[in-house]
C-alpha cells in the first residue's frame, strides 16, 4: 500500500508540474490593462457525454512465488523455504468505453470500463536446490522454477476529476480489476528420477485497482490521455505432493506454492466523444 501511495503521488505531482510548465506564469498587467481587463473567454469544450476509445501501454508487476516445504523444513530436509521473483512485464493494448458528467465547469465525475490483451509475463529459475541447513542438494541439476503470465485483463472504475483550464482534465480513479493469469512452478530434484513437485494452472482473478491520469481535448469530439494504475489481483495457492518418474507418491512430503499477482500499468489512449 505504501508503494501504491508513493507511485500515485509521484504520477499526479508530475502531471500537475507538467500543466504548470505548459501554462507558464501569468504576466503582470500594466496600468492600462488593469483598467481594461478583457473578459475570460468561455471554454469551447464540455466533458459530459459518452465516449469510446483505445489504449496501449506497458505493465510490470510482482509475481513473487513462495516455496514452502511440508510438513516443515527440518522434516523435508532437502528443501529450504524459498522465494523466486517471477516478476512479469510486457506490453498490452485494448479499448475503453465510458461516460462523464461535468458540472460547475470545474468538476467531472465519470464511469469507465476497459479490456486489454497482454504480453505481461515473467519467469525465474534457481538451482541447485538449497536444503534446510543451507547446503546444495546432492544433484547439481536440481532446480526451482516459477512462471507467471497475464493473458488479458480489464477494469471497471470511477473517475473523479477537475478541470484546471479549458480542455484539460486531471483525475483520480479506482475500482475493480480482473485478469486471466497462467501460473506454474516446480521443485525438481533432477535425474535419475528424484522427486518433482510440478503445478500448472490458469485462473481468472478479481481484485482492485487505483491510480490517476491527465486527459486533453484535442478536438470537439476527441481527447488523448496518459494514465497510471496500480492493480492487485490477490494471491493464489497450490499444494503438490511428490512425483517420482511422474508417479504420485503419498505423504509425508509436499510443497506449498503461493503466487502473488499485483503490478503497475502506464498507458496512453485516444477517446472519441459522442
List pLDDT tens digits, range 137-149: 888 889 999 999 9
pLDDT of 126 strictly over 50 = yes
pLDDT of 66 strictly over 60 = yes
Percentage of the chain surpassing pLDDT 70?
Answer: 85
| Mean per-residue pLDDT of the chain | 87
Mean pLDDT, residues 115-130 taken together: 94
Give per-residue burial for 139-153: e unless 16+ CB within 10 Å, then b: beebbbbbbbbbebb
pLDDT of 103 strictly over 80 = yes
Domain ranges of the chain: 2-7+44-273
Whether 205 and 33 have beta carbons less than 8 Å apart is answered as no
pLDDT of 43 strictly over 60 = yes
pLDDT band at 136 (very low <50, low <70, confident <90, very high): confident
pLDDT of 14 strictly over 60 = no
Model pLDDT, residue 16? 43
In this prediction the pTM is 0.81
| φ and ψ at residue 131, rounded to 5 degrees | -85, -175
Whether 149 and 121 have beta carbons less than 8 Å apart is answered as yes
From 244, 199, 173, 212, select the one nearest 86 (Cα to Cα): 199
From 179, 180, 137, 148, select the one nearest 257 (Cα to Cα): 148
Whether 119 and 59 have beta carbons less than 8 Å apart is answered as no
Question: Distance between CA atoms of 8 and 20, rounded to whole angstroms?
Answer: 18
DSSP for residue 159: E
List residues bridging with 117 in a β-sheet: 93, 152
How many alpha carbons fall within 13 Å on the CB side of residue 79?
28
Give per-residue burial for 97-110: e unless 16+ CB within 10 Å, then b: ebebebeeeeebbb
Residue 222, phi-psi category: left (phi > 0), alpha (psi -120 to 50), beta (remainder):
beta
pLDDT band at 41 (very low <50, low <70, confident <90, very high): low
Amino acid at each position: 500500500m505504501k508503494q501504491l501511495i508513493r507511485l500515485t503521488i509521484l504520477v499526479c505531482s508530475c502531471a500537475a508540474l507538467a500543466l504548470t510548465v505548459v501554462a507558464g506564469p501569468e504576466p503582470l498587467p500594466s496600468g492600462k490593462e488593469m483598467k481594461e481587463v478583457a473578459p475570460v473567454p468561455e471554454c469551447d469544450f464540455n466533458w459530459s457525454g459518452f465516449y469510446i476509445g483505445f489504449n496501449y501501454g506497458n505493465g510490470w508487476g510482482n509475481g513473487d512465488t513462495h516455496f514452502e516445504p511440508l510438513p516443515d523444513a527440518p522434516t523435508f530436509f532437502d528443501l529450504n523455504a524459498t522465494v523466486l521473483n517471477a516478476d512479469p512485464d510486457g506490453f498490452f493494448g485494448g479499448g475503453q468505453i465510458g461516460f462523464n458528467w461535468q458540472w460547475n465547469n470545474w468538476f467531472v465525475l465519470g464511469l469507465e470500463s476497459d479490456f486489454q490483451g497482454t504480453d505481461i509475463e515473467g519467469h525465474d529459475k534457481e538451482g541447485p536446490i538449497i536444503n534446510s541447513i543451507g547446503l546444495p542438494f546432492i544433484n547439481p541439476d536440481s532446480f526451482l522454477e516459477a512462471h507467471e503470465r497475464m493473458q488479458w485483463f480489464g477494469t471497471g472504475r470511477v473517475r473523479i476529476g477537475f478541470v484546471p483550464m479549458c480542455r484539460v482534465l486531471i483525475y483520480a480513479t479506482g475500482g475493480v480489476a480482473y485478469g486471466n493469469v497462467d501460473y506454474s512452478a516446480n521443485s525438481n530434484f533432477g535425474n535419475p528420477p528424484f522427486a518433482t513437485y510440478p503445478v500448472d494452472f490458469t485462473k481468472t482473478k478479481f481484485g482492485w485497482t487505483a491510480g490517476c491520469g491527465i486527459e486533453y481535448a484535442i478536438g470537439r469530439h476527441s481527447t488523448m490521455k496518459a494514465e497510471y494504475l496500480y492493480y492487485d489481483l490477490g494471491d493464489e495457492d497450490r499444494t503438490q505432493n511428490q512425483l517420482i518418474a511422474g508417479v504420485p507418491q503419498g505423504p509425508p512430503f509436499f510443497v506449498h506454492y503461493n503466487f502473488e499477482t499485483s503490478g503497475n500499468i502506464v498507458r496512453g489512449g485516444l477517446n472519441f466523444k459522442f
